[in-house]
Amino acid sequence: MSNLEYPRAVGVAPGNGYSHVVTGHGQWVAISGQVALDPDGKLVGVGDPGAQAEQVFANLGVILGELNAGFEAVVQFTTYLTRADSIPAFMTARGEIFPKLFAGGKYPPNTLLVVDRLVKPEFLVEVEAIARLPG
């Protein structure tokens, strides 16, 4: 059970697929940016930002599971894309993934940045998370 609350930020437009703010109690956890590597270290979705996004969120799910938590513990994502023209593919993938990860339809805040490149040029998507574990 989540101990997070998603208060409506008055005076700003509602988020489209994300929340502006999350509050709660528990232990803070920072999860480093995840890229589209499978458990064997092989890149998933070469040249496909949507497929890479799916693997990135799968990796985040594994890490959260190892912390005995789920996506409901996430209080913020920061997303990095290497190309502005990848935004539509990422948003489509996220629009398909998030309803499965966040059954209540309450999505955490997300900041999306377009950067020159990630640690390896073949990585098109990276997502880091901050979570708050119950406790």
pLDDT, tens only, 54-82: 999 999 999 988 888 899 999 999 999 99
Q: What is the CATH number of the domain that holds 84?
A: 3.30.1330.40
Contact between 33 and 127 under an 8 Å Cβ cutoff? The reply is yes
C-alpha dist (Å) from residue 38 to 49, 51, 52, 85? 15, 12, 10, 24
pLDDT, tens only, 100-115: 999 888 999 999 999 9
Of 55 and 12, the one with more pLDDT: 55
pLDDT at 89: 98
Q: How many domains, in total, are found in the chain?
A: 1
pLDDT at 109: 94
Rg of the chain taking only CA atoms, in angstroms: 15
Range from 16-25, 69-78, 86-95, 107-116 carrying the lowest mean pLDDT: 16-25
What is the rounded distance in angstroms from the CA atom of residue 112 to the CA atom of residue 97?
16
Which tokens go with 1? Answer: 């059970």
The mean predicted confidence, pLDDT, of the chain is 89
What is the rounded distance in angstroms from the CA atom of residue 29 to the CA atom of residue 114?
24
pLDDT at 133: 86
Of 20 and 87, the one with more pLDDT: 87
Predicted structure pTM score? 0.85
Residue-range definition of the domain harbouring residue 11: 4-133
Contacts of residue 36, Cβ cutoff 8 Å, sequence gap at least 6: 43, 44, 45, 51, 52, 53, 55, 56, 59, 123, 124, 125
pLDDT at 17: 77
Contact between 135 and 68 under an 8 Å Cβ cutoff? The reply is no
Check pLDDT > 60 for residue 93. Answer: yes
Check pLDDT > 70 for residue 2. Answer: no
